[in-house]
Chain A
Amino acid sequence: MRAIHLGRPYVLASASALVLGFSIGSAFAGGFTAEQAEAGRTAYQAECAQCHGARLEGPEAPGLIGQDVMGNWSTAGGLYDFISVAMPPAAPGKLGEETYLNIVAYIMEMNGAQPGDEPLVADPDKLAAVNLVEETKEGAAQSAAANQETTIEAGDTNVPQAYTWGKELPQYKP
């Protein structure tokens, strides 16, 4: 099978639509609280934005937005493990557990996840149970539907896919 998808049309969006896209009602909860995301916003803007962009778009450092980025980190635990050791370069790992959790919450929110009642906590099992693609997918799609200009948040998948895309692959069981 040739794994080429020719689904959605090409849609470009203005950068401002990015931020506005996600203020939509919450039908699903992303495993973090609104307070965490708010505190995370402050921390992110102070410690990360100068390189990763005020809207997480980069480009002085890799962008932190999009379903593919979420997919690559896989879970909140994957993202937390990386940033809590490696970032920011001026003080790697030095911001403290709480701040890193808040920043994860903020990155999730910016990617379309919705806050809920349960806070994100520094328990490896719990963090590993928060699937980033699942939590952010609907938000991204919903915001896209709400505003055509933000279709890009769902990702323009009008591109070739991996040869194995859509195939059942063995899943790791630790």
Chain B
Amino acid sequence: MTARGVDAPGRAAVGARTLRTDRWWLAPAATAAGLLVFVVYGGVRAFQQQYFFADERYLTPFYSPCVSLGCASEPGSSHFGMFLPDHPLIPYAALSLPFLLGFRLTCYYYRKAYYRSFWLAPAACAVPEPHARQTGETRFPLVLQNVHRYFFYVAVLVSLVNTYDALVAFRHPDDGFVVGVGNLVLLANVALLWCYTVSCHSCRHVMGGRLTHFSKHPVRYWFWTRISALNTRHMFFAWITLASLILTDLYVMLVARGTITDLRLIG
């Protein structure tokens, strides 16, 4: 192998590929572990086709919108019609899940996260990457990351659907208006999902970032400043929503299985 990178001719012949003494591998390792937990949990749940609707009103976000013919097994779980075939390989929310996956896969934060933790390009700053060539996002398939904004548009629609789910969950078919712990869980999750979606870099760009003269567009400038403030916490929202999605789904699943009972606060 010819000398490359920090060993290239002309550069200081230091020997060690990196001299970092801190635990630089910790962040990428933790990131990889966190992402794997979510992918495994989400994958299992998406295809389980069971325990997705609880107390005749709580629909887990992993099954929203429930558009498979299979949703008929839980009357009331489908708010937007049932038309997808009931097949073990087709998740009940097959209409939204691929887009949500695409949204997160092309997200600028998750890109950084998995380029660093899985592709090791670079695993940490000033730690040499293992690849012989680097073309970044200039070629297929990575050039497709540029379509992120379309996933963003769809994610807004899905967030609206999730919001609807959280709101209709306050109505029990027999008891009318009720508030249970599950309602608070669903609401908190939806609020966090909105924070993640709205703090997206593409959102920041389309709402105002693409303008050159903010002074001529005071309303869009106002939006841009608010989104920019949220955007600085985009990584935080990316992780907190993975956690809130899992916890919300877990809650609905456990109530649906009868493992725990949902505490009624009102009604």
Asked whether A and B interact, the reply is no
